[in-house]
Amino acid sequence: MAQDPGIGYKITATVIEARGSCNAGHKAGDTFELSCHNPAGLCGFFYHSIFADLETFQFGGNLPWWDGDRIEVQCPDVANMVTLELERKRR
């Protein structure tokens, strides 16, 4: 795995909801660091689906529907949906 160079904001992910059975084993309340260089145990489908937003968020960008330094992202598996809250902080 590539080493995270520590650029951009530090992103903390918190599982705020997990419906069904997550194949990666995530459960509500789990917290971990995530970045464009570190998928932090997310399954490839989830990581791929949020990568563009993660990249924008990690490097200080914003989208019109984002409010501040916290956003929510969701797994593409609607039957076993995991919702993450991503929070960014300056390093």
2, pLDDT greater than 80: no
For the chain, what is the mean pLDDT?
Answer: 94
pLDDT at 3: 77
Strand partners, 73: 84
Q: Evaluate whether residue 50 is within a structural domain.
A: yes
**CA 80, CA 76: separation in Å to the nearest integer?**
9
pLDDT at 6: 85
Q: Evaluate whether residue 89 is within a structural domain.
A: no
Stated pTM of the model: 0.93
Domains identified in the chain, total number: 1
Q: What is the pLDDT of residues 62-85, one digit of tens each?
A: 999 999 999 999 999 999 999 999
Q: What is the pLDDT of residues 39-55, one digit of tens each?
A: 999 999 999 999 999 99
Domain that includes residue 46, residue range: 10-66
